[in-house]
């Protein structure tokens, strides 16, 4: 279903055609000097909000939301294709990943990586982080990425019910935060997602802002206990090479053979011209397809189960959907000539130094037209017949209710509509924004 919002045929104000950058400089310069003299604006600037550095307004979709979009249904191949375009030509990237730690084996892994000058990613167990906090700290201190690998890795518990799974994801998120002072949205499913995750698991994780990473090279170091180093190396060498590799290894208890194989593995991939990089939240995950037949007999992910994970992530401000309102916050009022838009405290938020507001409301107010493609989770905003913004949801689907809560940074978004913010008042009692006509 495609839904259109906004008024057709009513032109709305003409697109701003001047030099946006210099206009902005004037505004900011005068704002810094106190009361704004130009253009008859009355407000006194009480507090300056710092905004994220603006991207050029033309062209590409809103970067934050776009980077969050994922297509879980897609096989690994098209994702690699897309990733390739973002890489420097011919640059081959390798994400080395270690699961199930930290353990005593992690220390040696870290020593080897340090010697080779290589950064990797460690998908840690919450339980192990609490048992081995010093080793966990070393991982971060030495420049590696940390990912969440659930709390206790027990398949039957994790895949027997989504409530238990979500509980472990959150518990591990907290364990990592408490121990290391960082939040991570990188996630790897114990045993991988294939035949463990259904679409409901994928959707909930994506909606909560996690990136679920499977792999495309399995070193085979966990297919039975004590796989010898020589066998691990030969499995690696037999694996298909690609422009981007995500290599699965283990640094948990009982994986001394993986440590032993590691120097030769690194040497092999270096000889093939790979650059070793840690995962970030900007990397499109390699994901397995959803299996037709799951290993587990369980109920579908229920709304309340999913909601607890999403509420957790909303509290952390991870989601592109508006979440909990700031208590006792005043309404946010936007002014444009004689026009006024009042947003209740549930309808805006301050995130990463930007004021975020619902795209649908903002677009409609400034005279834009919004097209909603709920089946594919895409919102497009048009102004004067031109597409100014295209957002996609993290799940590749969207309900009307979600679309209404899809938040965008007000300044960057208005700029795409050719509208400039001339001043802002933002404090505990008063929150108002004045726009250019």
Of 167 and 190, which has the nearer Cβ to Zn ion? Answer: 190
Structure tokens at 276: 């070793």
Of 135 and 378, which has the nearer Cβ to Zn ion? Answer: 135
* Minimum gap (Å) between residue 350 Cβ and Zn ion: 38
Provide the phi-psi class of 221: left if phi over 0, else alpha when psi is between -120 and 50, else beta: alpha
* Minimum gap (Å) between residue 99 Cβ and Zn ion: 4
Is 156 in the active site?
A: no
* Minimum gap (Å) between residue 122 Cβ and Zn ion: 11
Angstrom distance (rounded) from CA 134 to CA 141: 10
Q: With CB under 5 A as the contact rule, which of the stretches 78-86, 96-104, 110-118, 429-437 interacts with Zn ion?
A: 96-104
Q: Name residue 390's beta-bridge partners.
A: 380
Out of 100, 214, 415, 432, point to the residue binding Zn ion (CB under 5 A).
100
Of 100 and 380, which has the nearer Cβ to Zn ion? Answer: 100
Q: With CB under 5 A as the contact rule, which of the stretches 91-99, 192-200, 207-215, 256-264 interacts with Zn ion?
A: 91-99
Of 251 and 415, which has the nearer Cβ to Zn ion? Answer: 251
**Total binding residues toward Zn ion, as defined by CB under 5 A:** 3
Angstrom distance (rounded) from CA 117 to CA 21: 41
Burial class of residue 92, CB neighbours in 10 A (0-12, 13-18, 19+): middle
Query: What is the DSSP-derived secondary structure letter of residue 325?
Result: P
Is 144 in the active site?
A: no
Of 126 and 190, which has the nearer Cβ to Zn ion? Answer: 190
Catalytic residue among 144, 250, 251, 255: 250
Neighbouring C-beta atoms of residue 221, cutoff 10 Å: 26
Entry field: residues in the chain? 437
Site membership for Zn ion, residue 99 (CB under 5 A) = yes
* Minimum gap (Å) between residue 123 Cβ and Zn ion: 7
Structure tokens at 421: 């913010």
Q: With CB under 5 A as the contact rule, which of the stretches 94-102, 195-203, 359-367, 427-435 interacts with Zn ion?
A: 94-102
Out of 147, 190, 192, 409, point to the residue binding Zn ion (CB under 5 A).
190
* Minimum gap (Å) between residue 82 Cβ and Zn ion: 27
Give the neighbor-by-neighbor strand order of the sheet with 407-409.
349-351, 354-358, 407-409
Q: How far is CA 279 from the centre of its chain?
A: 12
**Does residue 102 have a cis peptide bond before it, meaning omega lies within 30 degrees of 0?**
yes
Closest of 266, 280, 255 to residue 102, by C-alpha = 255
Looking at residues 207 to 246 of the shown chain, list those that interact with Zn ion (rule: CB under 5 A): none
Residues that bind Zn ion (CB under 5 A): 99-100, 190
Catalytic residues: 99, 250
């Amino acid at each position: 279903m495609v839904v259109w919002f906004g008024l057709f045929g009513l032109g709305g104000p003409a697109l701003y055609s001047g030099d946006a950058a210099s206009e902005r400089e004037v505004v900011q310069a005068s704002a810094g000097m106190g009361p704004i003299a130009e253009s008859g604006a009355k407000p006194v600037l009480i507090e300056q909000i710092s905004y994220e550095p603006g991207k050029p307004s033309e062209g590409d979709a809103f970067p934050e939301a776009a980077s969050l979009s994922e297509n879980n249904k897609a096989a690994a191949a098209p994702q690699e294709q897309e990733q390739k375009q973002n890489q420097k030509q011919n640059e081959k990237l390798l994400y080395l990943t270690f699961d199930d730690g930290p353990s005593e084996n992690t220390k040696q892994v870290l020593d080897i990586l340090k010697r080779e000058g290589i950064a990797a990613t460690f998908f840690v167990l919450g339980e192990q982080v609490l048992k081995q906090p010093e080793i966990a700290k070393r991982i971060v201190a030495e420049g590696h990425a940390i990912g969440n690998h659930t709390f206790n890795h027990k398949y039957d518990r994790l895949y027997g019910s989504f409530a238990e799974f979500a509980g472990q994801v959150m518990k591990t998120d907290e364990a990592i935060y408490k121990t290391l002072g960082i939040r991570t949205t990188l996630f790897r499913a114990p045993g991988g997602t294939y035949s463990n995750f259904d679409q409901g698991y994928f959707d909930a994780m994506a909606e909560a802002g996690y990136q679920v990473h499977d792999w495309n090279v399995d070193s085979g170091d966990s297919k039975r206990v004590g796989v010898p180093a020589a066998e691990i190396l030969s499995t690696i060498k037999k694996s298909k090479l690609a422009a981007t590799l995500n290599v699965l290894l283990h640094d948990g208890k009982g994986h001394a053979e993986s440590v032993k194989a590691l120097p030769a593995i690194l040497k092999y991939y270096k000889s093939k011209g790979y650059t070793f990089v840690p995962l970030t939240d900007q990397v499109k995950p390699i994901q397995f397809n959803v299996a037709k037949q799951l290993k587990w007999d369980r109920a579908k992910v229920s709304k309340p189960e999913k909601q607890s994970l999403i509420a957790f992530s909303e509290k952390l401000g991870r989601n592109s959907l508006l979440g909990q309102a700031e208590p006792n916050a005043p309404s946010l009022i936007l002014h444009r000539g004689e026009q006024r838009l009042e947003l209740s405290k549930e309808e805006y938020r301050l995130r990463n130094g930007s004021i975020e507001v619902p795209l649908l409301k903002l677009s409609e107010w400034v005279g834009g037209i919004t097209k909603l493609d709920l089946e594919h989770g895409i919102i497009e905003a048009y102004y004067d017949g031109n597409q100014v913004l295209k957002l996609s949801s993290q799940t590749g689907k969207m309900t009307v209710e979600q679309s209404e809560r899809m938040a965008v940074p007000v300044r960057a978004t208005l700029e795409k509509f050719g509208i400039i913010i001339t001043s802002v008042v933002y404090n505990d009692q008063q929150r108002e924004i004045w726009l250019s006509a």
